[in-house]
Structure 1
């Protein structure tokens, strides 16, 4: 089964690491700079080669570690509501503007502090195009040692693992649900694993074709396929949300 093979691939090759210390956050920002600034050109180059924005101040982050090489190859963050400005809009709200079909309303229990936004998911190019090898810490390029594994299967397992990792963090925060801007194609792929994101706005042009999606805690837990549920449990066991950020977010 494809779900079994992807979860097995992830557990064999990768591990998620909470970026709860400064040196780990630096690795997050450098991966984002490599992908979003140098490769894709979505953000301007920075002299320090670290891509950051204001939302990082009220976000939690995790890294994806490739076990065989010890290289951090991906990252993702979960933006929480800003305690200093609880009514401040999430980035996806600015992107979608009037096309968004969702209203945050305190009177109905949908204030922003109950939600988060998944963003800045990044996987380095060496792993999106594994035939090129992996850039090691000493500057050398080494080929991936994956045995008989089809390298093309690694990328979806990585994306799945990162989404489950940041979802685990959201569950630990006690959020009611999370939003994400993503390609409709990715939403369909995630649906196949039982991750049923609901489209809550029109498709917009934002670094390609994107749309806003939402998934509730209950939808995730009710629909997640068994193998992915097992992977989520394993990821939850590996993650510890930083207490400082729990206090900072007011939860």
Structure 2
């Protein structure tokens, strides 16, 4: 799909060829969106059990694997921002295993802030949009996105034959594996659904620039509002709002967002680009 888009953007390609290329790209995106809905579903973590599942995934990713935080005996990673956050999980339907989690930190009153205000406010460039310029209920931050290693297509599995590229088809079929690279997209769209549903005006996120580039490919256009800094690796501050999201989101992923909103029991309105 990436090769098709690059080829379509070359000036030597005629407009009719570019149109055909764009059609092929969009058709593939719609296919992936269909695979996503067939095998995966978003869940808003409304119960303590669901939130604990999110904290367990975060412990595996942020503590055991990435070593960003210390491991603990409860095997759950959480902080005080979780007390006023909405948490989402993506569940793998055939196994009921959870394939990822993300949270939307949602301040509601004075004294409640988002992580970027506490840890990375100086990374926002002068003159750029700043969370300090708004009321707490007007802002949010998407953070703690985590996908377990078993759901990452290019992650080495721990079974015989993995070193030679064998897919563990005893657990996941080839068709199911096609949608796993889009789990991160599904998590961001789940977070977007929460933002839209609650009328939150301004969304901030600290992320790796390469992840931002990946999201841009599907039309999730985060605006970089500061330079890359060393914060749990190379990360930069980004901004987005519902209007920017819907202006740039490709048709296939607009369809995916609609499906996610329905799964989360959020109101769905027809959006026009």
TM over 0.5: yes
Q: Is the 8 A contact 2:110 2:136 kept in 1?
A: no
Answer with 211-220 or 92-101: which moved more.
92-101
Q: Where does 1:1-251 land on structure 2 (aligned, <5 Å)?
A: 1=25, 2-83=28-109, 85=111, 88-101=112-125, 102-104=129-131, 110-128=134-152, 129=155, 131-132=157-158, 143-148=170-175, 151=177, 153-240=178-265
SS state at 1:26 partner: helix
Taking the aligned partners of 2:212 and 2:42, their CA distance within structure 1 comes to: 22
Greater Cα offset, 74-83 or 96-105: 96-105
Correspondence for 2:10: none
Distance change (3 Å), C-alpha of 1:36 and 1:161: same
Distance 1:72 1:97 in 2: 32
Higher relative contact order (CA 8 A, sep 6+): 1
Cα distance in 2 for residues equivalent to 1:100 and 1:23: 36
Instruction: Specify the structure having the higher radius of gyration (Cα).
Output: 2
The answer to whether the 8 A contact 2:205-2:237 is kept is yes
Shift of 1:89: 3.6
Relative distance call for 1:205 and 1:105 in structure 2 (3 A) is: closer
CA-atom RMSD in angstroms: 2.1
Matched-pair contact (CA < 8 Å) for 1:93–1:100: no
Please report the TM-score for the alignment, with normalisation by the length of structure 1: 0.83
**Following TM superposition, by how much is the alpha carbon of 1:131 offset from its aligned partner in structure 2, in angstroms?**
4.1
CA shift digits 1:72-131 (9 cap, x unpaired): 12100000114252xx4421233323231333455xxx3232111000100111112274
Unaligned ranges ≥5, structure 2: 1-24, 160-167, 267-273
- SS for the counterpart of 2:71 is coil
8 Å CA contact 1:18–1:240 kept in 2: the answer is no
Q: Is the Cα contact below 8 Å between 2:117 and 2:132 reproduced in 1?
A: no
Moved more, 76-85 or 207-216: 76-85
Is there any run of 5+ residues in structure 1 with no aligned partner, and where? 134-140, 242-251
Corresponding residue number in structure 1 for 2:15: none
For residues 265 and 255 of structure 2, the distance between their equivalents in structure 1, rounded to whole angstroms, comes to 18
Which is worse superposed, 52-61 or 112-121?
Answer: 112-121
TM-score between the two structures when normalised by the length of structure 2: 0.77
